[in-house]
Amino acid sequence: MATNPVDGQVGAAGSTSALLYSPVLPKSQISPNATGTLGILNVNGPTVAASNPFFQSLGTNGRSCATCHQPENAMSISAFSVQLRYLLSGGKDPLFAAFDGANCPDAVSSTALPFAIGDPSNPHSLLLNRALIRIGLPWPPKGVTPEFTIAGVYDPTRCELSPTYGIFSAQPTVSVYRRSLMAGNLKFVTTVGPGAAAPGQILPLDSNGQPESGNIMYDGREPTLQSQAADAIMGHAQAAALPSAAVIQQIVDFENGIYVAQNFDAQALSLTDLGATGGPSALAAATAGLTAAPNTFSEYAGWATLPWYDLQAVQRESVARGEAIFNSRTFIVSNVAGINDLIGTNSLSATCTLCHANTSDGNDVHPQAEINEGTTGGAFALPANDLPTFKLVCSAGKTTPFDGSTVIVRDPGKALITGKCADIGKVKSAQLRGLAARAPYFHDGSAATLQDVVNFYNKRFQINFTAQEQADLINFLRTL
């Protein structure tokens, strides 16, 4: 279990705080959330936290992998659970370690009392309000000559221009703030689909014989789950030394055995009634890497027409309509770097399944799936004035596919890894399972609700959803 160095308490499987813990993650667990319950299937369970390194403190700040990947939050965290942990621990939960749990490491005084959650000067405001973790990336990337310069910064966090941690410090660093990705359903992340390679082909192996993936992190910087675990231990947990390869593999094996999905909805009730196949068990049995052909999701196709005696028919039929909208409602995709520029047309008729193509899970199946659809900045981005904004200027002869050579963006995305103008603003499309358990949404938490998500796409691609269609789509998304 992960020991809190401040108060000696422990946090482990399924905990919401360092002060509340469960010593065992069972084979099957149900956790309540705002719209129902999330099902957690631990294929290799039950797992005793004290003997599994996923739940152990392997660094110097009391954190474990479970600190940011909570089972009841679909192996991520939510703003609500972060706030609860802050209140219960008085701000002492290892989650709030200043290194990346604060807006900037030098924003926190070791003697300071906890601030009120709503205090705009709270040094943990981005974590509390948006469930964002600071990611400090070296600039320029090692071995890369960037095609652009950082010509200006709006710096509300006071970290980009920090003399110790900023862009112009002795160790130049760009800080971006991102949501914790799900450490579950990972076979859907690391398997390539037939639309990207030969049917069923596993991604290429790295020098250690591990399958590579460009989709593990938002910016594609980690090729394998093993490298991601190792870097997280050295970075987020601030370890003094890397654990053995055997320990790293134990963490990956645990993660690969976890499946999470909503299994009960407050309005539609059981998500496995009358032919529906919601919940984690069906997800665990599904084949990863299948592209939508014709549908990404078919979990609620059986609810399209229900018997007269089903008391939940109205809500369930709404879910089925929302699923059909997701699968088949067409709109024109344009000016999306990573899609339109690669296929050679800036007027592509598509559905939501274009980017959310992995059958039953909804992430992308391509080996390098980062795209720029406008969530990281620009005219369509949702407001987030508490996040930094960068002015990037491409060098002579270099430009972005659709946004010119001077770009204003909140998160440069993949470009912070490759240094390429064409990659500015690109991030991957994340999984869609367990949405109800892990608000807010988008990589930067700028969408507080599923309604905000739908509003963004409705405006971005001029889909013109009716009010009923929006309601149906949201009812569907919350059942995933």
CB 391 within 8 A of CB 152: yes
> How high is the pLDDT of residue 192?
67
Q: How far apart are CA 122 and CA 127, in angstroms?
A: 10
Read off φ and ψ for residue 262, nearest 5 degrees.
Answer: -65, 135
Lowest mean pLDDT among 314-318, 428-432, 464-468: 428-432
> How high is the pLDDT of residue 336?
97
Per-residue pLDDT band for 193 (boundaries 50, 70, 90) equals low
CB 300 within 8 A of CB 317: no
Q: What is the pLDDT of residues 339-382, one digit of tens each?
A: 999 999 999 999 999 999 899 999 988 777 899 999 999 889 99
- Compute the CA torsion angle 308, 314, 315, 321 (nearest 10 deg): 100
CB 345 within 8 A of CB 361: no
> How high is the pLDDT of residue 157?
95
CB 73 within 8 A of CB 182: no
Q: What is the mean pLDDT of the chain?
A: 90
Q: What is the pLDDT of residues 124-156, one digit of tens each?
A: 999 999 999 999 999 999 999 999 999 999 999
CB 201 within 8 A of CB 193: no
> How high is the pLDDT of residue 201?
46
CB 294 within 8 A of CB 352: no
269-270 sheet: strands from edge to edge: 28-33, 36-42, 258-265, 269-270
Q: Is 333 helix (H, G, I), strand (E, B) or coil?
A: strand
> How high is the pLDDT of residue 292?
74
pTM of the full structure: 0.93
| Residues forming beta bridges with residue 337, ordered by sequence position | 372
For the chain, give the percent of residues with pLDDT over 70. 90
Q: What is the pLDDT of residues 54-92, one digit of tens each?
A: 999 999 999 999 999 999 999 999 999 999 999 988 888
Q: What is the mean pLDDT of residues 171-176?
A: 98
Q: How far apart are CA 367 and CA 364, in angstroms?
A: 8
Quick check: 461 pLDDT over 50? yes
Per-residue pLDDT band for 384 (boundaries 50, 70, 90) equals very high
